[in-house]
Structure 1
């Protein structure tokens, strides 16, 4: 008899029921696994695979061997390849002979029970717009958080669970296809390099493009200077893959080789860019997964004009789609194209529509349509033509040049209350200093105050001019439209 049972025998008859209940609970607790138990290797086994029929007749012998392993009940295992250069923009994997192979666990960063409980509750998410700095190999995003909370980047869709004040810098990198192929993985989103002070970020929400995400279909590949490993998501929502952060480096959503063989719907975006060359108006159509940051595509096509239109669509990866126009005299090249799941660094157009300038001036609009192989429309937009040339000319100017162009009208039309509201907001985002705010505020004449403010901002360059335009659009939309800033 164990101690619990001896105690039960000595208890008074009226307490026998209570001690019997404690006995049952004690045995149940002994049978439960320890709190730190984790599987020793990454497992991608799923009951859903029993209902998926995959034809391996036309696939290489390597896939046939995997098929045989599936029939025999064995599960795939994955290796982590050590890497001394993973911190660079191009991640390169070394062979297992030179670096050795280690087991990869489903890792979770340690969290206190109360932290887990808090994160499972609905939490208010605050949007923020980071500072953008174009670099030679992409775009750097930066933002300084003043406190804790859940924040979503308006340019990338990334969400950060911030635990303390601190600055976060992040950018996209180029996926190393050799590393992915060696791990039998495929990219399902951009590869983000994220840097901040230790302890600033405790959880990441990486945007995915799955139309109907499965709970076991996605993982996050974590790449550091010591190698790479898979992190099991805390949860997968309709829009994001949520992971705890062991430490910061490179993070990207991936799926297994088996998921790659299954036909998938992808949430996408159809983007339009405009060029005006040699008496032709050229409209470039780009079709990308929805989790590709628009800012990256704009930077790649910085010599063209971005045309803002409703972009959402749904398509199947690696299927052929056709582009159509009305009126029919528009020249489209090519008429059909296969749509890849493209995560950069190149974002080339799938289709190019060429409109002779003489004919387009007599045409009010052109309808652009993308269809699948069953002739079903996946995206369509009616594009008004008369304003395209004007829109292109406006976008060629820098923000500083735009302010210089509207300077007389701004000084004449801006109201006193609008100027008073602009000053503290410009100071808050460090466009002007507190001393400059005080100096401008002491000017009694509205005209002189507007002139002083605008001249100070213009002298400070592109970033300051961009912030003034943005804040002015928030404060006085009617004036912004009149000045053609919108």
Structure 2
């Protein structure tokens, strides 16, 4: 396998390994062809397929005559731009004349395409699948949508979003970038869930973005726009994107109704779990896969002993929600707002340089799309306490130019968010003991679940302890959390205090924990 990777000049064998496991181990003919040296003819065919394509058009229905593509039959050709001949004028806006165009609900012929996209989105049509023809990808601008800010809730460290659409129309979530086209007033509930790549293996596909579990009790969603991370220079007609639809019956793949510069659009008739996927063969042919990415920065408080400050650097695809990442990081760090967009290569190594940092670790790290559910940092910098401005550079291995750079003015720790540690002279265990009764009585169930996740993440609790605590009643759970942190020492108590002050900043206990000696 290493010889094959070297001969093909892949920067990293991980993509090929994934392809090998999927297609060769499964005795897939494409895998056997690869090992038999037959990939070159496939590459030649792929290159021929990438000749400048003709302008995309929707296929004619078998029932249409030669003039159907222009808006109707020959007798109504002059009226094609208006939707068809006189006999089919009423159907023109939905796809062509009544005589033969059954694709009106998908945009219809050229004369009725605009009306189909904007006026008939929820008026018919079934959800597309892998065996259902949606027609050519249409690289059109997105619909006009109304932005909304969803209601966000956090339960057991899982972020959920909620919004009620006031009427029919297109609505875009400011947190996730998802666009919902609805036929009437309706409530939307959605959250990200973790991919199970085993579901994708037999089809030779890999995740291309977050996976969303979407509910709408009114069943009013007829179109779904999922944000992609294709770079601005990408040829969207050959990007290999599709939408995985996961339900109780398994996984199906929906071909896009259209792809815009920001979203992949599919028609849906029912909701469950949806996410973008790529064809792995697209990576095999072209050896690299570039994506539009983002660099996110999270700053922790000064360490009370070393006084160093920790800066976490995350490299993520552009279509990952910053709000959700911040939710996962906020218990111990503070998000630093900075220009973040860049272009990254999947399965490529990167490095970070910062002259002011005392430590940058690791020296190099691999960027991939597998970053859920916790979105861990790819790099961590340790900054001296006197640092007020630092210069950060991200470089791709083997290239001298920078992928991303920023001159960062470090903020002071945000006291309102509970970033600073307890006073050096205060034993955090004593602080916890002093508020024990009130903590047990007043801390809420959601905060306790988040504290359990935090204590497990910081290795104060092991998975068995955390799982056992979750099954206890609220008061017993609060007693266990506080008493365990006290028993496990000053560091464990400090983690609990910082986490509680961050997660419940309005609690009167916060002031007592931060000031009482």
For the residues of structure 2 that align with 1:337 and 1:71, how far apart are their CA atoms?
A: 31
Instruction: Check whether the contact 2:142–2:260 (CA below 8 A) recurs between aligned residues.
Output: no
The aligned counterpart of 1:230 is 253
The aligned counterpart of 2:207 is 187
Q: CA deviation at 1:368?
A: 0.9
For the residues of structure 1 that align with 2:406 and 2:348, how far apart are their CA atoms?
A: 21
The aligned counterpart of 2:134 is none
The aligned counterpart of 1:474 is none
The aligned counterpart of 1:154 is 174
Give SS of 2:354's match.
Answer: strand
The aligned counterpart of 2:236 is 214
For the residues of structure 2 that align with 1:71 and 1:282, how far apart are their CA atoms?
A: 49
Q: CA deviation at 1:337?
A: 1.0
Q: CA deviation at 1:149?
A: 1.2
The aligned counterpart of 2:290 is 265
1:129-208 to 2 correspondences below 5 Å: 129-136=149-156, 138-208=158-228
Give SS of 1:209's match.
Answer: coil
For the residues of structure 2 that align with 1:340 and 1:172, how far apart are their CA atoms?
A: 18
Q: Residues 136, 230 of structure 1: CA spacing in aligned structure 2 closer, same or farther, 3 A cutoff?
A: same
The aligned counterpart of 2:339 is 310
Instruction: Check whether the contact 1:367–1:382 (CA below 8 A) recurs between aligned residues.
Output: yes
User: TM-score scaled to structure 2, two decimals?
Assistant: 0.55
Q: Which runs of 5+ in 1 are unaligned?
A: 1-52, 76-107, 398-461, 466-486
Give SS of 2:187's match.
Answer: strand
1:321 and 2:335 matched: no
Q: Residues 348, 123 of structure 1: CA spacing in aligned structure 2 closer, same or farther, 3 A cutoff?
A: closer
User: TM-score scaled to structure 1, two decimals?
Assistant: 0.58
Q: Residues 377, 70 of structure 1: CA spacing in aligned structure 2 closer, same or farther, 3 A cutoff?
A: closer
Instruction: Check whether the contact 2:104–2:116 (CA below 8 A) recurs between aligned residues.
Output: no
Give SS of 2:300's match.
Answer: strand
Q: Residues 330, 213 of structure 1: CA spacing in aligned structure 2 closer, same or farther, 3 A cutoff?
A: farther
376, 382, 398: which one aligns with 1:348? 376
For the residues of structure 2 that align with 1:109 and 1:274, how far apart are their CA atoms?
A: 53
The aligned counterpart of 1:365 is 389
Deviation by residue 1:146-191 (Cα, 9 ceiling, x = unmatched):
1111111000000111210010000111100211223221000111
Instruction: Check whether the contact 1:267–1:315 (CA below 8 A) recurs between aligned residues.
Output: yes
For the residues of structure 2 that align with 1:175 and 1:205, how far apart are their CA atoms?
A: 19
Give SS of 2:237's match.
Answer: coil
The aligned counterpart of 1:408 is none
1:71-470 to 2 correspondences below 5 Å: 115-116=116-117, 118=119, 123-136=143-156, 138-211=158-231, 212-216=234-238, 217-261=240-284, 262=286, 263-276=288-301, 277=303, 278=305, 279-303=307-331, 304-327=333-356, 329-357=357-385, 360=386, 363-373=387-397, 374-385=399-410, 387-389=411-413, 392-396=414-418
Give SS of 1:215's match.
Answer: helix
Instruction: Check whether the contact 2:146–2:172 (CA below 8 A) recurs between aligned residues.
Output: yes
Q: Across the two proteins, how many residue pairs are aligned to each other?
A: 307
For the residues of structure 1 that align with 2:292 and 2:107, how far apart are their CA atoms?
A: 35
For the residues of structure 1 that align with 2:352 and 2:9, how far apart are their CA atoms?
A: 30
Q: CA deviation at 1:72?
A: 8.6
Instruction: Check whether the contact 1:196–1:248 (CA below 8 A) recurs between aligned residues.
Output: yes
For the residues of structure 2 that align with 1:177 and 1:187, how far apart are their CA atoms?
A: 8
Q: CA deviation at 1:299?
A: 1.9
Q: CA deviation at 1:199?
A: 3.8
Instruction: Check whether the contact 2:186–2:217 (CA below 8 A) recurs between aligned residues.
Output: yes
Instruction: Check whether the contact 1:320–1:372 (CA below 8 A) recurs between aligned residues.
Output: yes
For the residues of structure 2 that align with 1:265 and 1:307, how far apart are their CA atoms?
A: 25
Deviation by residue 1:106-139 (Cα, 9 ceiling, x = unmatched):
xx99658554463678642111000001122521
Q: Which runs of 5+ in 2 are unaligned?
A: 1-6, 46-102, 109-114, 122-139, 420-502, 507-517
For the residues of structure 2 that align with 1:378 and 1:296, how far apart are their CA atoms?
A: 24
For the residues of structure 2 that align with 1:340 and 1:200, how far apart are their CA atoms?
A: 35
